[in-house]
């Protein structure tokens, strides 16, 4: 089976502005793909091109083997979409909205089950203009699922949701994945991407600066695993002198990067021998968020150049 989403040399310009500047990626079917990037990076532009809502300037785009712009009608039967900032008819309730979509798609819908799945049952009969921001988002997700889509495009589905509601959405994404659906997710919550995604791509100023499975990206761009203790700068000096490992100290917090497990015992030994007070011993590794912040920071400073990472 071919890729669910295939993008090659995609470019989108708004007049002078190159919002997307020639990107390539593909998403195999049944995977969760997280598309990450700072504000204005070009995520929504890309997603909307994939959904057939925007016309691309250049490049090849295929979703389920169809061209989203020219074959949108066929495609829309097979995909589900939550736009960024979902809005709907003011006086229509979630139950009525789901029923409406079911009739448009000519699909039987279990309204109650679908609303329960996105944890919106208690507001099934409340009018849209009385829903909170998070509840509106949940309705958007419910509507995206009405047609039992093969690919779901979720543009910041959890933005503005409370931690509990966010977990409910994660659960829906996990269920979609278990059901072999493809999910294309954009989010500013990096822990969400790290938790859910099989693949991520980080886009910055319209170019992809890193892509691959989250672990691989962390390994490639992240710092080494570190030991952290609370202690004075005198302790840091002693450790620097006695160990051949990089030691950083700031605000009473000392970080020692280690190469192998055995290094941990040498560090503990050196701390003990120093005779100085210490506390709060722990190990720490980079998260996707650390990598993201550092990569985007380096890009902004011009240290790194965008590379077509596979």
Partner 1 sequence: MNPKRISADFQVFAKNYVRNPVALFFSLIFPLILIGMFGFIFSGSSGPVTVYTENLDHNSNVSRAFLSALNTSNAVRISVVPPVTGGNGTAAFGSWLASNGDTVGLVIPDGFARAYQTGNSTTLTVYTDPQDASGSGIALGAVSGVANGFNLQAAHGRPIVTATTANVGSQVFKYIDYLVPGLIGFTILTSPMFAMVDISSSYRKDHIFRELSLTPLTKGEWLTAKILWYILLTIVTALLMLAVGTLAFGAHVGLTVEVLPFFILGPFFFVSLGMIAGSVAKTPESAAVIGNVVTFPMMFLSGTFFPVSGFPPFLQTIAHALPLYYVIDGMNQAILFHNYGATFVADLLVILALCIVAFVGAILLFKWRDE
Ligand X SMILES: Nc1ncnc2c1ncn2[C@@H]1O[C@H](COP(=O)(O)OP(=O)(O)OP(=O)(O)O)[C@@H](O)[C@H]1O
Answer yes or no whether residue 73 interacts with partner 1 by CB under 8 A.
yes
Taking the complex as a whole, the smallest distance from the CB of residue 40 to partner 1 amounts, in Å, to 17
Distance of CA 299 to the CA centre of its chain: 19
Task: Report DSSP state, residue 138.
Answer: H
| Span interacting with Mg ion, options 72-80, 83-91, 95-103, 171-179, rule CB under 5 A | 83-91
The binder of ligand X chosen from 8, 17, 110, 191 (CB under 6 A): 17
Task: Report DSSP state, residue 241.
Answer: H
Answer yes or no whether residue 306 interacts with ligand X by CB under 6 A.
no
The binder of partner 1 chosen from 3, 29, 71, 127 (CB under 8 A): 127
Residues 27-46 that bind Mg ion (CB under 5 A): 43-44
Taking the complex as a whole, the smallest distance from the CB of residue 83 to Mg ion amounts, in Å, to 9
SS3 category, 295: helix
CA distances from 175 to 139, 164, 190, 308 (A): 17, 17, 20, 32
The answer to whether 217 touches 291, Cβ cutoff 8 Å, is yes
Exposed (0-12), middle (13-18) or buried (19+): which is 177, by Cβ within 10 Å? middle
Taking the complex as a whole, the smallest distance from the CB of residue 303 to Mg ion amounts, in Å, to 26
CA distances from 99 to 94, 104, 112, 130, 257 (A): 8, 9, 10, 19, 57
Answer yes or no whether residue 205 interacts with ligand X by CB under 6 A.
no
- E strands, 245-301, where? 247-250, 253-257, 278-284
Which is nearer to ligand X, 47 or 102 (by Cβ)?
A: 47
Q: For binding to ligand X (CB under 6 A), which residues are involved?
A: 14, 17, 19, 37, 39-45, 84
Q: For binding to partner 1 (CB under 8 A), which residues are involved?
A: 48, 51-55, 72-73, 76-77, 79, 81, 83, 85-92, 96-97, 100-101, 103-106, 127
């Amino acid at each position: 089976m071919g890729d669910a989403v295939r993008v090659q040399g995609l470019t989108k310009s708004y007049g002078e502005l190159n919002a997307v500047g020639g990107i390539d990626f593909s998403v195999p079917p049944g995977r969760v793909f997280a598309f990450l990037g700072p504000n204005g990076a070009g995520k929504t532009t890309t997603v909307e091109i994939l959904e057939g809502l925007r016309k691309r300037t250049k490049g090849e785009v295929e979703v389920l083997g169809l061209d989203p712009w020219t074959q949108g009608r066929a495609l829309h039967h097979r995909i589900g979409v939550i736009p960024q900032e979902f809005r709907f008819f003011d006086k229509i309730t979630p139950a009525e909205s789901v029923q409406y979509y079911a009739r448009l798609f000519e699909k039987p819908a279990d309204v109650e089950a679908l609303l329960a799945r996105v944890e919106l049952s208690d507001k099934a009969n409340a009018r849209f203009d009385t829903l909170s921001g998070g509840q509106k988002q949940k309705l958007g997700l419910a509507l995206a699922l009405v047609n039992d889509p093969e690919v779901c495009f979720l543009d910041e589905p959890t933005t503005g949701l409370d931690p509990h509601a966010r977990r409910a959405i994660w659960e829906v994404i996990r269920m979609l994945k278990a059901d072999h659906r493809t999910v294309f997710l954009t989010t500013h919550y990096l822990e969400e991407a790290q938790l859910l995604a099989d693949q991520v791509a980080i886009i910055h100023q319209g170019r992809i600066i890193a892509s691959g499975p989250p672990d691989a990206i962390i390994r490639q761009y992240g710092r080494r695993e570190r030991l952290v203790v609370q202690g004075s700068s005198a302790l840091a000096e002693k450790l620097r002198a006695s160990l051949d490992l990089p030691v950083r100290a700031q605000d009473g917090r000392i970080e020692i990067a280690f190469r192998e497990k055995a290094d941990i015992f040498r560090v503990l030994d050196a701390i003990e021998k120093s005779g100085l007070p210490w506390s709060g011993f722990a190990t720490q590794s980079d998260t996707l968020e650390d990598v993201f912040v550092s990569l985007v920071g380096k890009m902004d400073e011009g240290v790194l150049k965008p590379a077509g990472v596979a």
